[in-house]
Amino acid sequence: MSALATSSDLNKRHQAASRRERTLVLSAIVPGGLYVIQHLLRKGQPLPGLTPRADELVLYVLGAWAAILIFGFGRGLWKKYGLNCPQCNREFRGTAFEFVEAQGACPSCGTQVLSDVVSSNIHSAAEYVFRYPRFRAIFFLICGVGVAAMGLMVVLGFGSILLTSPFSAKRTIGCLLLILLGLAFLTLATVVGRGWRSLLTEYVVDANGVTARYRGVSTFHKWSDLDVARYASLTRQLELRFLGGSTPIVLTNVELDPDETNLSIVKNLVESCGHMPIKRVLL
Ligand SMILES: [Zn+2]
């Protein structure tokens, strides 16, 4: 999308892209689905005239067909219809599209994309609240402890098998792989658990800064004190550290919104009000 579009134009393109995507998905999964269903009805018997091997092959071909349609032709579909931001390339689908329709601007970088919808300067007045429902926070904390305990048990258990049993190449490799898996669980739990306090804290983010409320105590951090801003793409956590603040602020996608609209707006706030580029990391 190079020049500004009108909202009716954007709507038409969105409908066309959605139709196209629906057709692609249906033509990708329907043949495979029908084949699997007839396979189940025939109780695993191959189609008449097909050997079991050929029957299996048909399924592989149908699977490959689905993958090519969805990942080959489906990729970049929204961009082909001009449904992406000219500035940051964000695709306008789902909640991002609704945002553009309502505000006329890209939810990620705030660039004006519609000529007939003027954004009411979304970043100056609005505030964005990040608060986990209490039961979900506690559920996550219990899961985190569980994953860590499981990792530790796997590491210790297979470590002791490795050390005590007589040497066998196969067993050694098996044990080492399982120990690595246990270590991966431990790392994951530690990385996610870094922000455990954030799960129990309510954050209100606006153009002035971030207010954190933890156990009835409010602390305000202004953007000019921002010291570190990093976004971990694997865990989808935005971590902010302010001068004088002891604990890091970890903002995650509380609404479980696949487009992360709220988080995108806050990332933009960090860069425009905090005057700090966000460091992108994996973990
Ligand atoms: Zn953008």
Euclidean distance between the first and the last CA atom of the chain, given in angstroms as a whole number: 33
| Residue 235 CA, ligand 1 centroid: distance in Å | 22
Q: Which tens digits make up the pLDDT trace of 240-282? A: 999 987 788 888 877 777 777 788 888 888 877 777 788 888 8
Residue 50, classed as helix, strand or coil, is coil
Residue 180, classed as helix, strand or coil, is helix
| Residue 243 CA, ligand 1 centroid: distance in Å | 29
Strand ranges of the sheet holding 209-214, from the earlier edge strand across to the other edge: 128-130, 202-205, 209-214, 217-222
Q: Please report the pLDDT score of residue 106 as a whole number.
A: 82
Q: Which tens digits make up the pLDDT trace of 85-126? A: 888 888 888 777 887 887 788 877 778 888 887 655 444 557
| Residue 142 CA, ligand 1 centroid: distance in Å | 37
Percent of the chain with pLDDT over 90: 22
| Residue 204 CA, ligand 1 centroid: distance in Å | 23
| Residue 232 CA, ligand 1 centroid: distance in Å | 19
What are the tokens at 132? 């986990």
| Residue 18 CA, ligand 1 centroid: distance in Å | 21
Q: Which tens digits make up the pLDDT trace of 5-31? A: 888 999 999 999 999 999 998 998 898
Q: Are 16 and 81 in contact (CB under 8 A)?
A: yes
The structural domains of the chain, with segments of one domain joined by +, span 7-120, 134-194
Mean pLDDT of 147-174: 89
| Residue 202 CA, ligand 1 centroid: distance in Å | 27
Q: Are 18 and 24 in contact (CB under 8 A)?
A: no
